[in-house]
Each structure stands twice: as structure tokens, then as C-alpha cells.
Amino acid sequence: MVYMEQSLRPPFPPPGVPAQEYKKDLSTNESVLPPNGAIKQQPQQIVAAVSSEVLESLPTITRTKDQQVVLVAEEVEEFLRNDLNVSRLNSIHAYLWMAGRPLNARPLQRQKMMGKDIIPTEQLDLHLLHFSNRLLVKPLPEYLLNFSFWERYLCESKELHETACGLLLSYVWLICSPLDMKLAHELGLVPIDRKWAWWKTFVADFVSIIDVNALDQVNRRFQFGELRLGRINSIYRIRLFFTHSIRGYLYGYNRYTVFFERKFAWLLGVFVYFSLVLSAMQVGSIVPPLNDNQGPLQSLTIFPPTIRPLDDSDQRSPIRLGSMFKRSFASKDRAGKSVKPLKITYREGTKKKMQESLDSPMVASPLTSPIITMVVGRDQRLFAAHEDVLCRAPFFAASLKDQFFEAGAKKVKLPDEEPEILSCILEFLYKGDYYPRLLQNKRRDTWELEDAHDPKKGGRGSSDSTIYLPDVGGHVLRDTVIYCAAEKYGLEELKRLALRKQGLQSGVQVDAILRSARYAYDNTPDTESRLRAHYLALIIRSRKTFKRSGTMQMEMENGGKLFFDLFVAMCNHIDDIVEIR
């Protein structure tokens, strides 16, 4: 009887043989099988040595390179060449670093924790490839756990041997704990009769024979663990452009429905982006302040030839022409249609006049009057303004009239004024408003502050809603300080404007409100009612919040005219409720 001598051996010992003894025999390249289990030259006797259960676990058919269908039982070698084929990945091995890192694959329980859906596949070249939240995994074949099958089929080819060892190595990565084994059974990746105790022993034997760190005994594909299918597709399309430029490595679209489902997000984004741009251009073409300024409209011109050529005699932008074209089809412009004039209510007329007064600068004489220098605050900051502009405030008009100034030495000292507040007053005297401006939201028919919807600027542009006053020792509402300053300088219009802006504030702390109310009482005369009534109404409306505030309790204990007025207002409020009932 003649025995074949093989250099390749299975990566685990046969049943009943200790791993140390098997490893020792590998170094001497001697067979540890008994004579009746040895690999003989007769094929029929060799096949008989393989367990019938293993052969029954093989598929029914396989396909050759020319797509001929053959039975697996008759062409086991052909089946193994197909089942353990990773040649496609090996052809781009030099670029696999773009698709994944040379690290071990993560265990199954880790994959599930990351939200991965395990998708079984019979293709080994798709094993451990992932896309989106899905991971492709090839189930562990029964024949890879049979020693006789290795001796008969896998040890005859070095390529098959390395690939089979690599597949076993991948499962050493995937199954590291009893929980991983339980998940493998539930997903059908490992035969159900293979329990954790057996697997633990099997891995110990496998690792003692195969160096899982050097990876010199496995196929080079398994130098990488998980790979990204999307990047593999890109590598295949670029590296093998002439043969795989369209389908890539794994073509996933065979219907337009699937394509649009996956690409809908960025298609919608492009559509929304251009819709916003075109809407902004249309709005910009009808905004009144831009009617006399054609620069912004001409800068937004898109494809002028599509509308009509422009010459020097026609300065209207294509955007405006588009608006005119759209209006020409409106029902109110058609012949035979009677247009009913819109009625403007008194309230709307008042709002329109107020908005026009805020948008237009105050009428002033030519700024040729002398320059007045103002020394403001404790830091003696210098401000300059025209005398005619300052005289619009009765306070400055009286000061400049009663004092005599030499040429080049016209100064006004305001040691108790805050520079930021005076800056707002000067801005009002020159422009009729101060930043942030009061604007009308025509869409909602409400008033709001400029940049009120800008989250980066806190809803008030670059200015804060409060200002720190050293004399008070805390933050006070900025509009309240401006109101008190307007009372001092005799600017009634500025008082109305500051009170209106203060009513649009939100998110102010209770202590700042109470501190501002006390500041209002300390810096306005007893005859003043609007600002004080504003704070009294605010406290009554938000009484539940103020009632729970420790600051409110402390302020009430300190007392003052504020809380006497608050008591009177509360009594009047309760009397009104009783009368209604």
C-alpha cells in the first residue's frame, strides 16, 4: 500500500489527537492518521473516508467558467474553486487600504451594537464587506470543520488551503464570546450542533497552528478585516475602467425606483437650493428699497440670453423682466377684468406711516454747523456731533445756548452718561432709529427687531439686550436705560421707540427685570406713567414666575415706591376680575 506525502496539513488536529502531538508531527511532516484513514491513491477509497454528513452539506450544483452546470458530488474540486474564490479582491489588493484598515473584524455582538444587519451570502469575495448599515457574512461551511475533507481536497492546493484558513480566521475574529456564538446560531452562520465549549477548544488548536498575527499562512485578502463595498466599487471602476466602469464590483441597481430611493436626499437638496435662490431673486426684485438700485439685481442675472439680450438702452435686469412677464398673466391685468380697489384700514395706514418714518432719515439742514466734542463717562470717551443735530434734543439745545464756547474748544461734559447709551442717542438723532432697528414683518403683520431670527447674533444683531451699569451693580435692560436717557434729554419720540422695542424682548432673567424696574423708578419723575406701567403689567402677567423668585422676595423686603404701585395695580386687577364675574 502506497501513501501520498503532503506538505500541507489541516490547521487543526483530527478527533482524538492532542494538539501538541499533532503540532509535533507537523514539524516532522508525518501523518498521524492510522493506515485505514490515510490518504491513498484510489479516489473512491479517499472519498469514502470523508464523512457522509459533510458531503450531504454541500450544495447540489455548481457552475464552471463557461457557465456549465455540474453536480457538486461529481465535481467537488470545481465547487471548491468557486466557493473559495477571492481573486477579484486579490486583483486590487494594492488599493484595499482605501476601503478598510488592516485590522481584525469586530465580533458579532459589536456589529449588532453598532446597528449592523448581518446579511448571509455564499460568495466569499463578499465576506465582511459592508455598506450602509448592512454587513455581508459567508456562513461557516461544515466541510471546513472536517479533518478528512481537508486532507482529501483542501491540502492538495496551496491557494485553497490559504483561503480556507483565512475564512476560519475570520470566524475566530467574529466569534469571541458565548454571546457571539448565540448570535451566530440565530443567524445561521455556524452549524447548530457546534457549541461554545467545542468552539473554544477548536480556536485554541487553530491558533496554536496558524499564526494569527503574522498572517503568512492565510490568503492576503484576510490581511484586512471589514471593507467598504462602496469604495471597493469605486476602486474597481477606476482601476478596471474599460471592463467595470459601469457595474463596478457589485452592481446594485436594476430598477430606477431603487436608484431614486437612495439618491432622493441629494436630489431634493439640489432642488430646494435652486428654489431658494430663485425665490430670493424674485423677492429682491420687488423689494421697494431695491427699486432704485439695479446693482444687486444685475449681479443675480442667470443666463441672460434665455430671456432676451440686453443693450445700453435697456437697463432693466432679466429678473425684473421675469417679474413683469409673470405679472402680465395675472388675472387682475387681463382685459375685461374689473379690479376692485383695496381698502386700507386706519390701523394699516398708521403702521405704514410709522414704517416710512423709521426707514427714512430725519430731515436735517446741511451738516455745516460746528462740531461739538462730548466727553462721556468715567473713562472720558470722546464723541463728536454737529451742533444742529444735537440741538434737536432740548437738553443739548439749552446747554449749548447757555454756555459760551471759544472757537475750536466746543465741548460738553457728560460724566454720568454711559458711552453706549449716548451712541444710541446720537444714532437716533442722525438716523431716526438706533440698532437694532424696529422693522415690520409684513408676512406676519407684526413688528420685530432687526436680525431677530439670526441665531448667531442672539436675535439682536451684535448688541445685547442688557447693559452693565457700575452705579447699579448689575445688568439693566438696554432699552430701559435709553428710555430714561430720552426722558432726561427731552426726546419723546425716542421714548416711544425704546418702549416699543423693550416690549419685544424675551428670555430676560427675573433679577434683570426687577433691577430694570427699580432703575426706571429711580430715573424717571413720578408723573411718568408709561415705562412704570409697563413693568407693573409685566410683573402681574408673569406673577407665577416672580412669586417663585428669591430675588423678588428680597426686593419686596427692601421696599420702595415700585412695590406700592404694584400693590395698587394688583388690587385694581382683582377688582376688575370681581366685577366681570
Q: Is 276 helix (H, G, I), strand (E, B) or coil?
A: helix
> Over the stretch 156-183, which tens digit does the pLDDT of each residue have?
999 999 999 999 999 999 999 999 999 9
CA dist 258 to 134, 254, 264, 381, Å? 16, 8, 10, 68
pLDDT at position 534 is 84
Residues in contact with 228: Cβ distance below 8 Å, sequence separation at least 6, in sequence order: 99, 100, 129, 130, 131
Q: Which CATH architecture has domain 371-508?
A: 2-Layer Sandwich (3.30)
Residue pair 184/174 in contact (Cβ under 8 Å)? The answer is yes
Average pLDDT over residues 133-142: 95
Share of the chain above pLDDT 70, in %: 70
Q: What b/e readout covers 126-145, taking b as 16+ CB neighbours within 10 angstroms?
A: bbbbbbeeebbbbbbbbbbb
Residue of 101 and 565 predicted with greater confidence: 101
Residue pair 424/494 in contact (Cβ under 8 Å)? The answer is no
* CA proximity to 569, closest of 544, 536, 546: 536
Confidence of residue 125 (pLDDT cuts 50, 70, 90): very high
DSSP 449: E
Handedness of CA 174, 180, 185, 190 (dihedral sign): positive
pLDDT at position 5 is 42
Share of the chain above pLDDT 90, in %: 31
Q: Indicate if the pLDDT at residue 560 is higher than 50.
A: yes
Residue of 39 and 387 predicted with greater confidence: 387
Residue of 243 and 98 predicted with greater confidence: 98
Residue of 567 and 395 predicted with greater confidence: 395
Residue pair 423/436 in contact (Cβ under 8 Å)? The answer is no
C-alpha–C-alpha distance, residues 318 and 290, integer Å: 15
Residue pair 73/58 in contact (Cβ under 8 Å)? The answer is yes
Q: Indicate if the pLDDT at residue 316 is higher than 50.
A: no
Domain ranges of the chain: 53-244, 254-310, 371-508
Beta strand ranges found along 515-569 (DSSP E)? none
Q: Which of 16-30, 525-539, 546-560 has the lowest mean pLDDT?
A: 546-560
> Over the stretch 178-230, which tens digit does the pLDDT of each residue have?
999 999 999 999 999 999 999 999 999 999 999 999 899 999 999 999 999 98
Average pLDDT over residues 520-529: 85
* CA proximity to 482, closest of 536, 428, 413: 428
DSSP 460: B
pLDDT at position 217 is 92
The overall average pLDDT reported for the chain is 78
Confidence of residue 509 (pLDDT cuts 50, 70, 90): confident
Q: Which of 135-144, 193-202, 239-248, 314-323 has the lowest mean pLDDT?
A: 314-323
Q: Which of 101-110, 140-149, 347-356, 560-569 has the lowest mean pLDDT?
A: 347-356
Locus of grid cell 477606476: 238
Helix 530-541 vs helix 561-580: angle between axes, to the nearest 10 degrees? Answer: 60
Q: Which of 79-88, 292-301, 384-393 has the lowest mean pLDDT?
A: 292-301
Helix (H) or strand (E) holding 203: helix 196-209
Q: Indicate if the pLDDT at residue 437 is higher than 70.
A: yes
Q: Indicate if the pLDDT at residue 278 is higher than 70.
A: yes
pTM of this prediction?
0.45
Residue pair 64/78 in contact (Cβ under 8 Å)? The answer is yes
C-alpha–C-alpha distance, residues 55 and 59, integer Å: 9
Residue of 360 and 67 predicted with greater confidence: 67
